[in-house]
């Protein structure tokens, strides 16, 4: 029996066979819808990165403005996740999810029609808000529709959809950009998102409301958004602007005030007490942040190493880097299903340990290292991340009561984005502090040192992350 909330419909009025068939159909529909939306955001982000030089040439924009095409999307998504997840708990997760998919369709279409850099950035803000609406509700809906014994498998398929989006983004985005133009990437995204919008409105029945009638904390939401934007913006600009560190400090102070304020609230947008009282939830989120901090910058670093140090062109480098997300996409459904039978803490901890070994290998590579060894190590890291990700997601969503599912999905998304920002901040600090101003042979020699130092740091971080993953406790004992 699933934990689906049927709204006005009483499932007791259904015949058992009818209910089971309806329930099975609902599970498939929800999974398809959430998988497609989980594919769309990473696909859009990775595909548009390929087209940035073309966009810059058309609008005569420099690197700073072009970086905002990516950066503003991540900032807005991170800032809106928790408030919109809380709002969905109050007004209904289907409403917020459906509105998010429609908004994503419209903002993607309008991004393709952009007539200047500022309008493109503005429409990317719309995409960021829409993504927050989708990610703060989609996984919560899946957790409600699927019973505990098959939830992990569903999480695995969702994770696979994310990695397929990451894998296809550079390839399909490059083809669309080359043959049709950069705007076609947004048109393709809008077309697929429009299909999901119709499917959601037409086939997604019922509603999921866990906190109907409760108060929405507007002040807390505003404070959280300002704090998180300040922190992430400060991290991203810390090497380019002297005042960025002060912005980050202000953000950290605001975040501490926010957490204290949320502790005192009866209806918080961020369940601080849940982190304090629920060991599985707290340590699983901490493990997620640590894992993303240690692994997110791998593609960026290896892209530089393969092209600048080893002399491969961008096309071959791109194919090599595809290995990791492809392995992750293939293994994730099996890893999620495995976490339905074995404690997620065991599976995900093994995954993080495997990733640690893979990261450690890159400390010792040289320009003469066989490309097949690099490919094999990327596959090993992909295996480790797949074993970690979907079981860890299963642990987080399975460790909370139904009324906290929206907050849990939002917290997980926030931990992921913070981890990604920290990972890139570490790399940026290393490169800007050492090799950023060098050239020629000195540049390549220093880049090799920076590369090895980055992977020493990432290996240590990932190794430390095994501990909170192991000590989180049993999900089944939490309920």
Write out the two tokens for 129: 């808000």
- With DSSP H G I counted as helix, E B as strand and the rest as coil, what are the percentages for the chain, rounded to 5? 80, 0, 20
d(CA 319, CA 317): 5
- Our CA dihedral for 40, 90, 2, 200, rounded to 10 degrees, sits at -40
Of 36, 409, 27, give the one whose Cα is nearest residue 206: 27
Q: What is the pLDDT of residues 308-346, one digit of tens each?
A: 788 877 667 777 888 888 888 888 888 888 888 888 888
Structural domain boundaries of the chain?
Answer: 1-217+265-269, 273-479
Whether the Cβ atoms of residue 40 and residue 168 lie closer than 8 Å to each other: no
Q: pLDDT-derived band of residue 362, with 50, 70 and 90 as boundaries?
A: very high
Higher model confidence: residue 273 or residue 250?
Answer: 250
Phi, psi values for residue 4, rounded to 5°? -70, 130
Q: Are 389 and 329 in contact (CB under 8 A)?
A: no
Kindly report the pTM of this predicted structure: 0.77
For residue 379, the model assigns a pLDDT of: 93
Query: Does 286 have pLDDT greater than 80?
Result: yes
- At 367-426, the pLDDT tens digits run 888 899 999 999 999 999 889 988 888 888 888 777 777 777 778 888 887 887 788 778
pLDDT digits (tens, 9 = 90+) for 132-183: 898 888 878 887 788 777 778 888 888 888 888 877 777 788 788 878 888 9
To which CATH superfamily is domain 1-217+265-269 assigned?
Answer: MFS general substrate transporter like domains (1.20.1250.20)
Residue 358 tokens, joined: 């893979």
CATH class, 273-479 region:
mainly alpha
Judge if 1-217+265-269 and 273-479 fold alike in CATH terms: yes
Average pLDDT score over residue span 275-298:
86
DSSP at 214: P
Do 447 and 428 touch, CB atoms closer than 8 A?
no
DSSP conformation letters of 241-288: -TTHHHHHHHHHHHHHHHHHHHHH-SS-SS-HHHHHH-HHHHHHHHHH
Is the distance from CB of 158 to CB of 389 less than 8 angstroms?
no
Phi, psi of 267 (to 5 degrees): -125, 75
> Binning pLDDT at 50, 70 and 90, where does residue 275 land?
confident
Tokens of 83: 């408030």
The span from the CA of 394 to the CA of 389, in Å, is 9
Residue 45 neighbours by CB under 8 Å, 6+ apart:
70, 73, 169
Averaged confidence pLDDT in the chain: 80
* Nearest alpha carbon to residue 89 among 214, 228, 249: 214
The contacts of residue 285 (CB under 8 Å, 6+ apart) are: 275, 396, 411, 412, 415
What CA–CA distance (Å, rounded) separates 360 from 456? 7
Q: How far apart are CA 201 and CA 90, in angstroms?
A: 20
d(CA 165, CA 150): 23
Comparing C-alpha atoms, which of 466, 459, 293 is closest to residue 360? 459
The 10s digit of each residue's pLDDT in 425-448 is: 788 777 765 544 444 455 677 778
- Residues 375-380: contacts with CB within 8 Å, 24+ apart? 375/320, 375/323, 378/298, 378/302, 378/320, 378/321, 378/323, 378/324, 378/327, 379/323, 379/324, 379/327, 380/354
405, two tokens: 């599912």
d(CA 98, CA 196): 9
């Amino acid at each position: 029996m699933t934990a689906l909330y049927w709204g006005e419909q009483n499932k007791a009025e259904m015949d058992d066979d009818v209910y089971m068939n309806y329930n099975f159909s609902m599970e498939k529909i929800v999974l398809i819808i959430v998988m497609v939306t989980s594919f769309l955001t990473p696909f859009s982000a990775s595909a548009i990165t390929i087209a940035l030089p073309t966009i810059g040439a058309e609008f005569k924009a420099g690197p700073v403005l072009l970086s905002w095409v990516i950066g503003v999307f991540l900032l807005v998504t991170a800032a809106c996740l928790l408030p919109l997840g809380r709002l969905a708990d109050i007004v209904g997760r289907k409403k917020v999810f459906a509105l998010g998919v429609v908004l994503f369709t419209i903002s993607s279409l309008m991004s393709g029609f952009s007539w200047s850099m500022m309008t493109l950035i503005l429409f990317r803000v719309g995409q960021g808000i829409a993504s927050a609406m989708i990610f703060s509700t989609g996984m919560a809906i899946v957790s409600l529709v699927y019973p505990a014994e098959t939830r992990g498998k569903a999480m695995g398929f969702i994770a696979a959809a994310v990695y397929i989006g990451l894998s296809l983004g550079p390839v399909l985005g490059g083809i669309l950009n080359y043959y049709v133009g950069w705007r076609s990437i947004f048109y393709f995204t809008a077309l697929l998102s429009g299909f999901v919008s119709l499917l959601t409105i037409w086939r997604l029945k019922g509603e999921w409301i866990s906190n109907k009638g409760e108060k929405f904390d507007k002040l807390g939401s505003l404070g959280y958004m300002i704090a998180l934007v300040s922190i992430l913006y400060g991290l991203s600009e810390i090497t380019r602007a002297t005042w960025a560190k002060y912005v980050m400090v202000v953000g950290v102070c605001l975040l501490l005030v926010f957490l204290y304020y949320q502790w005192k609230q009866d209806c918080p947008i961020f369940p601080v007490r849940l982190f304090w009282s629920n060991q599985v939830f707290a340590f699983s989120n901490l493990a997620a942040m640590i894992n993303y901090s240690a692994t997110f910058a791998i593609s960026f670093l290896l892209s530089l190493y393969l092209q600048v140090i080893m002399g491969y062109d961008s096309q071959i480098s791109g194919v090599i880097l595809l290995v990791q997300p492809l392995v992750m996409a293939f293994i994730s459904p099996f890893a999620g299903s495995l976490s339905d039978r074995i404690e997620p803490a065991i599976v995900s901890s093994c995954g993080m340990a495997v990733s640690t070994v893979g990261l450690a290998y890159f400390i010792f590579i040289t320009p003469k290292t066989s490309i097949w060894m690099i490919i094999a190590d990327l596959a090993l890291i992909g295996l480790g991340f797949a074993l970690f990700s979907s079981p860890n997601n299963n642990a987080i969503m399975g460790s909370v009561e139904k009324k906290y599912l929206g907050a849990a999905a939002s917290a997980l998304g926030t931990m992921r984005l913070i981890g990604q920002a920290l990972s890139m901040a570490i790399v940026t600090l290393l490169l800007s502090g050492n090799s950023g101003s060098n050239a020629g042979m000195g540049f390549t020699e220093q880049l090799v040192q920076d590369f090895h130092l980055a992977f020493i740091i990432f290996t240590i971080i990932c190794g430390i992350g095994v501990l909170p993953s192991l000590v989180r406790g049993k999900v089944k004992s939490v309920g």
